[in-house]
A and B are shown apart, each in its own frame.
Chain A
Amino acid sequence: MAALLELKSLFAGYENKTVLKDVNFSINEHDFVGVIGPNGGGKTTLLKVILGLIKPISGSLIFNEDLLKSKKIGYLPQMSAGDNTFPVTVTDVVLSGLMIRKSAVARITTEDRKKAASVIEELGIREIRRSTLNELSGGQLQRVFLGRAIIASPALLLLDEPDNFVDTSFEADFYEKLHDLNERMAILMVSHDIGTISSHVKSFACVNGRLHYHASPEITNEQLSAYNCPIQLVTHGRVPHTVLEKHD
């Protein structure tokens, strides 16, 4: 399996504060990595570095040019970003995902519309394709933005806390969709909700300044504390879970 991108002894952060320290990590084709860790531990910083929004302080970030042509990274931002009263239809939002590889004067072709229709079909949002965003539920919005993230067929998909999209009735189905997408693209998903994601991801990355990679979807509290990665456990009623004793 080829690596899509590799982070080598990477340090990154903001003006006065280094958040990520000596991170060594690579994402391979077909990976499905759950990124967990405490708030302020660097989960978002990791995404920003990969997206190129902040430059590493030192160390290197190596993209596989064949698989990840400059901008072939899909991105589902956290909920609440964007203005949902803006007058655009679901189809327009999905189509806007193509702008990441089009020039500013680009037009939408018949080909593009076909592509959008197939993504919309795949995500099960055909009935709402002509709706505007303020008419949608949280779960529907999430699929629309997922559609925007995948329409350009990225080799890598980044998801920033998709479990924040309030609509639990869609949740099982959403992870099902991610599972299907994972056949075609690697996924890196930031989440607070280990309980839910452990049944979907293939491996974990615990980020708390440093990054510890855990090559299995099973992770215990002992391992988490060994990684110095205390996290806030969020579980929902229907998910079978075990709460372990507090260790010192």
Chain B
Amino acid sequence: MDLSILQYDFVIKGFLGALFASITAGIAGTYIVSRRMVFLSGGITHASFGGIGIGYFAGINPVVGAAVFGILSALGVEYLSVRQKIREDSAIGIFWAFGMAVGIIFIYLTPGYTPNLMSYLFGSILTVTHNDLVALGTMSLILIVYFGIFYRTIIYISFDEAYARTYSRYVDLFKYITTSLIALTIVLNIRMAGVVLVISLLTIPPNIAMIFTKVYRKIVVWSIISGFIGTSIGYVISYFAGIPVGATIIFTLVLIWIIIKSLNMLIKLGVRRTT
């Protein structure tokens, strides 16, 4: 009986976790890769660790703390770089390390044991709760609806912001909403891959997709598919080999990327030879 419950847990958590992570990371990842926001996203991820620390210290859900820190740091970077004319990469660097510092201090100050701390740093599907899955599933739905409805507007603004600004007063509003959704996506995926590794979950699938297509919509679809394959394979390997799941998933994804990229280069080379 015990075994079947374990297996049930393993299959359901694994399948849903991989599915929702791939959907959210695929949609958000395509956006950050296309807009060259990978460094900003890294900053958001690490800044959110401050919220995790405060969550432990105050006895609230660390994910909630992380979400608040993630969104505030995303908007903070935007505010400092646009309104206060501080270089964007410097602003990111400040939030990045500040969040980590806050997190470390509050975890140190938290009396007694801090359960699952390592899972926040390196990810773990085994500690993913039912609520985490519901949150990730809801996030998948929100992103699908949001990007579905505003697809043309998001492309219009992202591709040439200055041009969009010429005609629309809603450019900043859209940017803030989209960036907040990206921050939330990152934070929810920290449960899967951890603070240290989550950025790869968002950047590798779009880069696999971009080997096949250069069209935004198709990059999203291929990111989700390749993300799901990589995440599932990594999850199964980590379970049977008894190695950390976040790292195994990222390792698998990078391996897939290298293999496809190499095959693609070889095929191109072959085509050039024969013509």
Query: With A86-B34, A89-B215, A104-B153 known to touch, is A81 a contact of B160 (CB < 8 Å)?
Result: yes
Q: How far, in whole Å, are A105 and B213 apart by their CA atoms in the complex?
A: 26
Q: Who on chain A is nearest to B158 by CB?
A: A86
Q: A51-B166, A53-B166, A104-B174 are in contact. Are A88 and B159 (CB under 8 A)?
A: yes
A160 to B108 Cα, complex, angstroms: 58
Q: Digit string of A111-145 for contact with B (CB within 8 Å is 1, else 0)?
A: 00000000000000000000010000000000000
Q: Does A96 contact B (CB under 8 A)?
A: yes
| A82–B174 touching, CB < 8 Å | no
Interface: A184 (CB within 8 A): no
Contacts of A108 in B (CB 8 A): 152
Residues of chain B within 8 A (CB-CB) of A241 are none
List chain B residues, Cβ under 8 A from A148.
163
Residues on B with C-beta less than 8 A from A53 are 165-166
B260 at the interface (CB under 8 A from A): no
Q: Is A100 an interface residue (CB 8 A)?
A: yes
Pick from B150, B155, B213: contact of A92, CB under 8 Å: B155
> Cβ of A83 and Cβ of B159 under 8 Å apart?
yes
Beta-carbon contact of B166 and A96 below 8 Å = no
B149 contacts which chain A residues (CB < 8 A)?
105
B159 touches A106 (CB 8 A): no
CB atoms of B160 and A82 under 8 A apart? yes
Question: Does chain B have a CB within 8 A of A57?
Answer: no
Q: In whole angstroms, how far apart are the Cα atoms of A75 and B165 in the complex?
A: 12
Closest approach, in angstroms, between the C-beta of B232 and any C-beta of chain A? 26
How many A residues touch B, CB cutoff 8 Å? 26
CA distance A244 to B156 in the complex (A): 47
Interface string of B148-173 (1 = CB under 8 A from A): 01101101101110111111101000
Residue of A nearest to B163 (CB): A77
Bits for A48-70, please: 1 = Cβ < 8 Å to B, else 0.
00010100000000000000000
Q: Tell me whether A87 and B152 are in contact in the complex, defined as CB-CB below 8 angstroms, given that A82-B159, A82-B162 are known contacts.
A: no
B219: chain A residues at CB < 8 Å are 87
Most central of A83, A104, A105 by chain B CB within 10 Å:
A104
The distance from the CB of A46 to the nearest CB of chain B, in whole angstroms, is 14
Which of B34, B165, B170 sits near A104, CB closer than 8 Å? B170
Q: In the bound complex, what is the Cα–Cα distance between A100 and B35 (angstroms)?
A: 21
CB distance from A136 to the nearest CB of B (A): 12
| B residues near A92, Cβ cutoff 8 Å | 155, 215-216
Q: Would you call A79 an interface residue if the criterion is a C-beta within 8 Å of the partner chain's C-beta atoms?
A: no
With a 10 A CB-CB cut-off, give which of B35, B160, B162, B165 has the most chain A CB atoms.
B160
B116 to chain A, nearest CB (A): 38
Contact assessment for B152 and A106 in the assembled complex, using a CB-CB cutoff below 8 Å: yes
A93 at the B interface (CB under 8 A): yes
Q: Within residues 205 to 251 of chain B, which ones have a CB less than 8 A from any CB in chain A? A: 210, 213-216, 219
Q: Say how far B171's CB is from chain A's closest CB, in angstroms.
A: 10
Nearest to B209 among chain A residues (CB) is A87
Give every chain A residue within 8 A of B215 (Cβ-Cβ): 87-89, 92, 132
B153 A87 Cβ-Cβ under 8 A: no
Q: Give the distance to chain A from B39, nearest Cβ to Cβ, in Å.
A: 15
Asked whether A87 lies within 8 Å of B210 as measured between CB atoms, the reply is yes
B150: contacting residue among A82, A93, A104, CB under 8 A: A104
Of A51, A93, A107, the residue contacting B159 (CB under 8 A) is: A93
Given contact pairs A77-B162, A82-B159, A96-B160, a sample of 9 additional A-B residue pairs in the complex whose CB atoms are under 8 Å apart: A86-B159, A87-B210, A87-B214, A87-B216, A88-B215, A99-B168, A104-B150, A105-B150, A108-B152
What are some 27 contacts across the A-B interface (CB < 8 A)? A53-B166, A77-B166, A81-B160, A81-B163, A82-B160, A86-B35, A86-B159, A87-B210, A87-B213, A87-B214, A87-B215, A89-B215, A92-B155, A95-B152, A96-B152, A99-B156, A99-B168, A100-B168, A102-B152, A104-B150, A105-B149, A106-B152, A106-B153, A108-B152, A132-B214, A132-B215, A148-B163
